[in-house]
Each structure stands twice: as C-alpha cells, then as structure tokens.
Structure 1
Amino acid sequence: MFRGAGDSEFAFELLVSRWAELAWHPAADDRPVVVARQLGTRERRWDTVVVEVDPDALDVRRAFGDRGLDSDLLRVVRGAPREYAWYRDALDDPGFPWRYVREAVHRAAGRDLIEKRGGRNGRIEFRRKREYPDWVERVVAIENKPDLDASAAAALSDQLRHDVDAGLADEVWVATSATGDRVSPALLEDMPVEVGVVEFDFSEGVAADAAEVVWHPTALAADGDPRTRLLLAERAYGKGWRSFRETMRPDCRHFELHREGRALVPYCTAKERVPTAAECKGGCPDFSPEPPQWRTNGWPIEGGPGKGVRALLERRRARERRRAVGEE
C-alpha cells in the first residue's frame, strides 16, 4: 500500500471502501452505490458493504433524511396508510407490546417521516407523508484481507461459506493487496467457489483503475430475510464508511487527513502512519488535545480543526450521495 499505511488492515479497508464508492463494479460497468464499513448481523460482521441502488428511488429515499431507519421506524414508515388511521388498525400485530409501536410512531413524527394527530378517544392516528421507495437493488459483502495467503484463506473459509449460504448478499468478494505475483490456484481452492477475489494496487492511493479481478463471483440467490437485507441497507445509508470521524479523535493535535489518490485517510503524526480505530482514542499515550487558541484567534474553521475534519468528511459523504442520484 501507500507509504504511511503501515500494516494496517484498517487503512486497507478505508481504501477499498473509497474505491467502491468511486468505481464500483470491479467486473462490470459503474453502478450507483451506497458504501459502509463494519456492518452485519449477530452472526457475522462484514468489513465493507456495497449497496447497489436505483438512483431515482434513492433520491426519494433521501427525503426521509440522512439518518438510517431502524426496524421499528421501518415498520411505521412502510406501513403508514394514505389517510389517517389508528396505528393499531393500520399496522400488523408486531408480536410484542403495542406500546413500543406507539413510541415508534412518535419518533417517526418527530423526524418528520409521517404525520400524526390525536383521534377519537385519545387514539394516536397517523398517515404517510410520502411512500417509502424500493431503493435497494443488490447487497454485496466484501471481506478485506490485504495479506491473503494460504493460512488466511483457510481461516476465512467457514466465514465465507456462511456469507454465501446466509441469503443476505447478492455477491461475496475477498479484497486483497496486489503483490505482483499471480494468486495461486491452490489458495483459491480453500475458499467457496462462489466467492470472487479482487486485487488492489494502492501503492499510489485510490484510483478508479486500482482493481483487478482474479476470480469472478457467482450471483447468489439472496433469498434470506428481506427485512434483514433492508435493515442492513438502511444502516449502510445512515452510517457510511467515513464513520471513523465519530470514533476517532480528530481533535488531537497529531490527527491529520492525508490525501492518497482519490481518498482522504486519517494519519497520526506521532505514530507516522495511519492509526487504527482502536488506537486513536483519548486513552492513547500520544493523545494531545488541540490547544484552545486553535479554536479562536482567526482559525479558518469554526470550532477548530477537529470539528473541521468532521464537517469536511460529512460534506464528502453528502457529495457522494448526490453523485449516486445523478446530481453531480
């Protein structure tokens, strides 16, 4: 990888996620996508999740806000009637106490997702403001393994078989770093044949042509629970892949954003490399809060550089959302 990445799988994961946002699909024409990191279910967490979307439907989805919708909000929004109705009449029995549904109705109204009013006998009535769109076309899971060797492939075998059989993903890929040597067929034998393998050359950072397909994946049935698939997509929409802006400490004087090709990645001047998410915390021995005067005395970004980093990354995410629906 690029100089300063160290041996961090975290750095590789960021670059793969940015590449997917920029140039997905590795074996076909470009497709509009929403990309996120570290999402999954109780049984399995994926390194990178790529949600291929219908651009027009995604544009409608944007009207429901920038945050993801959890399962309770999805139940209310998708089941909201055209005309006002008591929520117990409008929605199917959830299988748990109705008071939790009532709370979700209040939350949905508070986020301007539905319209709510008090009906007869104090009943809570609601109706839709807009119809929730069918915006998800395909869900793709990527396991990032920059140093893919025989032992790593064998260790991944059971996890990848679970990904193939779970019915939640339309494709499963393993992403690895290009070494200049051809991937051994014997190494591929340790992985399910349905799983694709793509190599990345990030020596100069992220570029659209950084990927080379080594093994093409098989299109999967994706016949698992459709509600779980949609919930994964909603979480991907709300979280994105730049979520490190919330879990790391950009308010540390050692924190910087470095450009690596078409990507911006976190960099620690104390460690002289990309820090991991676990390292970049307030408990880090090198942590040094940005001086108060950085937040005043004419600093060009209101609130100081740490707040500015978060704002910049959020603007980048918003820009890619606009690009996915054809606005840029």
Structure 2
Amino acid sequence: MTPDAEFGYELLVCRYAELTWHPSDGSRPAIVSRQLGTAARRWDTVVIEVDPEAFAARRGFGDRTIDSDLLHVVRHAPADWAWYRDALPHPGYPWRYVRQAVHRAAGRSLIEKRRRDNRIQLRRKRPYPDWVERIVAIENKPDLDRSAADALADQLDHDVETALADEVWLATETTGERVEPALLREMPVEAGILATDFSAGVDDDAADVAWHPSDLSPGPTDRAGVGDEDAADRGGSGGRSTSRDAETVTRRLEIAERAYGKGWRSYADTMRPDCRHFELRREGRAVVPHCAAKAKVPTARECSGSCPSFSPEPPQWRTKGWPIEGGPGKGLRRVLDRRRTRERNRAGDGEHGRDRAGDAGSE
C-alpha cells in the first residue's frame, strides 16, 4: 500500500519512473534520483534522460559523482600535454583551487598529470561525453489539498519560468473521481499531472497521465535548456553559447552528475540500516525501507541514532564474516548499491521500461 509519509510516496514515484519512463511518450533510457536541484530550488524526483552510447562512455569515468570543480578540469582537459592554466578556461575563482582539482582528478584517474619545468601539465584520458539528453523534474504530493496546491503552484511556476528542467510534472495519488482534483487546482498549464495508484505496490501501469506537460527546452539550437532570452542574446555569435548559456549548461550537468552518483536509493546514507529494526520491504516491484518498531516507512529524520527505538546491531551481527561481509545493515547497503549499478548499466545499454530482460517481478 501507499506509505503515509511523503517520503515513502517519493520512493514509489522514483521506482515507477525507473520502470516506465516516459509515461506518455514511450520508453526512454534514463536514470532517476531524488532531492536534487540548485540553491534556489530542490526537486523531489529528478529523471535524467540519457543518450545510451554517450552514457556508456560516461560510465568509463567511474561510478562516483564528478563535482563542479572536477567537471571544470575533466571537460576541458586537452588531448595533448599542456600547462593547466593554458589548457583550462579561467574558472572565475583563484587558480589554486583549480590546481587542487587537477590533483583530485588525477587521483581518481579521470585525467593524467605530470610536472615539467616546475609546471603541472595535464591531458585527458578520454573525452567527457555529452550524455545528458533531457532533465525532468517531478514534484510529489500524494494528498493535494488546497494549501499544498497553492504552495506547489508557485514552485512549478518557478520551474516553468527558469526552464532549467526540460519538463515538469506533479505526481499525486488518484482519487477515483471523474475529474481528478489536481486538474481543478490552479497549476501552471505547462506542468504535467501524473495520477498514481500504488495501492497494490509499484508496477509499470500504476499511474496514468491526467495532463500532458509542455516541452520547456528552447529548441534544437540550444539543447542545453537555457531560457528564451539567452537564445535571443546569441544573435551574431555564430552559434557559440554566451557566458550565461555556459553557466546554465554547467548547472544542468552538475545536477545530472549528482543524480548519477547518488541515485534514489541513497536514503540508506542518511538513515540507520545498522538498527536491528531497519528492514527493506517489497511494494510491488519496489523495495522501500521499513521500521519494524514503528510499523511504518520512516523518514530520514525519524530513522536516526536519536530515535527512542534505535537499537544497534549486536557486535556479533556487525562482525559476522568480518571484515568482508559485515552485519545485516551492510548487507542492505550492498543490495541497494547493486540495484543502483544495475539501473546504470541498463541505461547505458539502452534498455528501459517494460521490455527489459530479466526484470519481471524484481526491484
């Protein structure tokens, strides 16, 4: 059944998107994450639609997020050896931070570096691919009452105006009424509405499109998703992006990189799977956290060391098979990590949606 907390609902929406994206236009390779955005706006669910071949090339850079400082180095690293200050564009902040990023990038084998004439030189190991096709933002409100709708309308208006995402959606629980209440709220017409029914758990037919979204991307001349005013500023530039365009491209790529490294199952990083009451339970084709002590899906705030019901795994659990296997908590983390890796691999192979081999009945 649908969890009471919005957090639990959010996890089910993430799994649905992973299974079925795109809900109205057919299967598209994508990765899914949650609670990402910018300093001004954080989205509940983020879907990154990817180019499978380019995404497979991105996998060659490892499974960890490439943060903003590293992106500056990796994206602009030259094919041949060059002094890093000659090779990289000015970052807008002191070069000493770039030098630190060069060392970190080399430490992660993202680039190669060497010292010649007392200068640090670098070159790329492989080109950083253009792997992000589109960014889709989903806001999750299972119970869309009037006050929640008013607040959400302002947030979605902001998303539509900034066009940082190519598409925005509202996901809400279906009521079974002839006209879904979400359609009667004053939402921006550009935002899609996804009516979900997770009463039997998550499956690829657990939602219907109640309203189709508009495409917010400016067009083929700028697939990176900058606003219309930026496209107008590009006149006479021969197709090259302005500095503001480049900033938008970078922001979108930073979001995509965090989605790639984090995924949506990373809730175990902010919860306590080492508690003897922490479990994973199946909701159809989804697996979500469950607290046996409280008989509910806990939030990250509830599932902490300060919880009155928190009971650490006994030492004999935590050291079982030490130092390789560990206790049940480490086992749950491995389960979630394997599922995140599996979905990354499938996106790189171009497999997505209901036709993916070997996925029937799995999480």
Match of 2:262 among 236, 239, 243: 239
The CA deviation at 1:151 is 2.8
Aligned to 2:26: 29
Give the alignment partner of residue 328 of structure 2, picking from 295, 305, 308. Answer: 305
> Aligned pair 1:138/2:141, yes or no?
no
Deviation at 1:15, TM superposition (A): 0.4
Q: CA contact under 8 A between 1:55 and 1:325: conserved in structure 2?
A: yes
Q: Could you list the per-position Cα deviations for residues 134-171 of structure 1 after superposition, in whole angstroms to 9, with x for gaps in the alignment?
A: 00000000000000133322221111100111121000
CA-CA distance at 1:40 after TM superposition? 0.7
Is the CA contact 1:39–1:232 (under 8 Å) kept in the aligned structure 2? yes
Shift of 1:189: 4.6
Taking a change above 3 Å as real, the CA distance of residues 86 and 297 of structure 1, as seen in their structure-2 partners, is: closer
Return the alpha-carbon distance in structure 2 between the equivalents of residues 83 and 40 of structure 1.
35
**Where in structure 2 are the equivalents of 1:29-68 lying within 5 Å?**
29-68=26-65
Preserved CA contact (<8 Å) 1:150 1:187: no
Deviation at 1:183, TM superposition (A): 3.9
Shift of 1:295: 3.3
**Compared with structure 1, are the counterparts of its residues 241 and 297 closer, same or farther at alpha carbon in structure 2 (3 Å cutoff)?**
closer
Match of 1:19 among 13, 16, 19: 16
* 3-state SS of 2:73 partner: helix
- Which of residues 159, 171, 175 in structure 2 aligns to 1:175? 171
Residue among 78, 84, 87 paired with 2:84: 87
Q: What is the 5 A alignment of 1:220-299?
A: 220-221=216-217, 222-224=225-227, 225-296=248-319
Q: Secondary structure at the match of 2:171?
A: strand
Does the 8 A contact of 1:48 with 1:144 survive in 2? yes
- Equivalent residue runs for 1:73-112 within 5 Å: 73-112=70-109
Amino acid at match of 2:282: R
**Secondary structure in structure 2 of the residue aligned to 1:133:** coil
SS in 1 for 2:129: coil
Unaligned runs of 5+ in 1: none
Name the residue aligned to 1:160. 156
CA-CA distance at 1:91 after TM superposition: 0.9
Cα 1:298–1:232, aligned 2, differ >3 Å: closer, same or farther?
closer
Q: Which amino acid aligns with 2:98?
A: V
Distance in 2, matches of 1:183 and 1:147, equals 15
Q: What is the rounded CA distance, in whole Å, between the counterparts of 1:323 and 1:185 in structure 2? A: 36
Cα displacement string for residues 295-319 of structure 1 (whole angstroms, at most 9, x for unaligned residues)? 35679x8200000000110001001
Identity percentage over the alignment? 69
Task: Look up the match of 1:113.
Answer: 110
What CA RMSD, in Å, does the superposition of the two structures yield over aligned residues? 1.6
- Give SS of 1:325's match: helix
Q: Which residue of 2 is the match for residue 198 of structure 1?
A: 194
Separation in structure 2 between the aligned mates of residue 184 and residue 288 of structure 1, nearest angstrom: 43
User: In 1, are the aligned partners of 2:182 and 2:193 still within 8 Å (CA)?
Assistant: no
In structure 2, which of residues 191, 214, 218 is the aligned counterpart of residue 218 of structure 1?
214
Alignment-derived partner of residue 347 in structure 2: 324
Deviations 1:54-105 (A, max 9, x none): 0110000001111111111111001000000000000111121110100000
Q: Secondary structure at the match of 1:37?
A: strand
Show the counterpart of 2:360. none
Q: Measure the CA separation in 2 of the matches of 1:219 and 1:22.
A: 22
TM-score normalised by the chain length of structure 2: 0.86
Pair 51,145 (structure 1): closer, same or farther in 2 beyond 3 Å: same
Change over 3 Å in CA distance of 1:298–1:68 after alignment to 2:
closer
Secondary structure, aligned partner of 2:28: coil
Q: Is the 8 A contact 1:36 1:236 kept in 2?
A: yes
d(CA) in 2 for partners of 1:8 and 1:202?
13
Contact kept, 8 Å, 1:32 with 1:52, in 2: the verdict is yes
1:111-151 Cα shifts (integer Å, max 9, x gaps): 0000000011x100000000000000000000000001333
Report the TM-score when normalising by structure 1.
0.95
| Structure 1 counterpart SS, 2:163 | coil
Look up the SS of the partner of 2:47 in the other structure: strand
Q: Quote the offset at 1:182 in angstroms.
A: 3.4
